Amino acid sequence: MIYSSKPHSCLLYNQGLMPYLDALQWQRSLLTERINNPNLEDVLILLEHPPVYTLGQGANPEFLKFDLDKSEYHLYRVERGGEVTYHCPGQLVGYPILNLHRYRQDLHWYLRQLEEVIIRVLAKYDLQGERISGFTGVWLEGRKVAAIGIKVSRWVTMHGFSLNVCPDMTGFERIVPCGITDKAVGSLAEWIPGIKCLEIRDQIAQCFSEVFGVKLVDSQYRRY
């Protein structure tokens, strides 16, 4: 759906493997800049993270299956919504920094649009992504393949979505992903053997452009 007669530009940063804290600092810098200057372009960052666990604001540590004080794993509590999740190579993460004044000032709408991006990507592989009432994310045949957690400040977004493409799934065994005890997680590699994140990146970008009605502009990362 296009929300203006002329799609506005959205900077696309296609990154490789980036430490979680580096990406977090980058997002915060981009968000602050756009709060101070609402005329700046929107941004979509696509990347992967080394293994890391994150807890959303107010997340319940009971969903961790290891001792928080004696953990050998990197774990951070951040400002997004949602419970605990896991990032690792083979999982494609998307961080949209969008000024929702350009779209719709409605967080539920925004969450559904992020789900729609993933659902359209899956449809390109003849897979039917599904929503489950009362939950946020996208499922395939009852297995959660995409998680979403966002933060919005003055209607500018940060954090975003993660899609399990071909990750080592054992990292999910140490948590209750997203705090959902009765639904398993899955990855696209279970349905599409041999699939890699590099292929999915282009599909994500195209579907994001369609859903949000933006023109993506390839951009180069500069360290903040």
User: How many angstroms separate the Cα of 196 from the Cα of each of 34, 87, 172, 220?
Assistant: 33, 15, 19, 22
Active site residue 197: no
Number of Cβ atoms within 10 Å of the Cβ of 32: 13
From the candidates 88, 166, 178, 197, give the one annotated as an active-site residue: 178
Residue 155: half-sphere exposure toward Cβ, Cα within 13 Å: 11
DSSP-assigned beta bridge partners for residue 53: 75, 86
DSSP 200-224: HHHHHHHHHHHHHT-EEEE------
- Catalytic residue annotation: 178
